[in-house]
Amino acid sequence: MSDVRRAIVFRGRVQGVGFRWTTAQMAERFAVRGWVRNEPDGSVRCEVAGEPSEIEAFLAAVEEAMRGNVTSREGAAVSRSDLSGGGFEIRH
């Protein structure tokens, strides 16, 4: 199966609680690459690329680690990927 790219928006109490740091730490455990950043509306946006099963496992791990903070997760496939490099970063 080929890599896909997804854009995810997490809502809830996701800023000021270590969410971006936790997301970056979780990404090291999975075969994913991408980035995470705070948004002006109080949400956190994450763009991630990898095998679909790895992405879902990664997102589930983030939600489990931040249990009680995430009230919703919205995601969509992104057709164009510029996440060709490796790694995962926190963007400001």
Active site residues: 20, 38
Cα separation, 65 vs 23, in Å, equals 9
CA 14 to chain centre: 12
- Are the CB atoms for 88 and 28 separated by under 8 Å? yes
Cα separation, 85 vs 40, in Å, equals 27
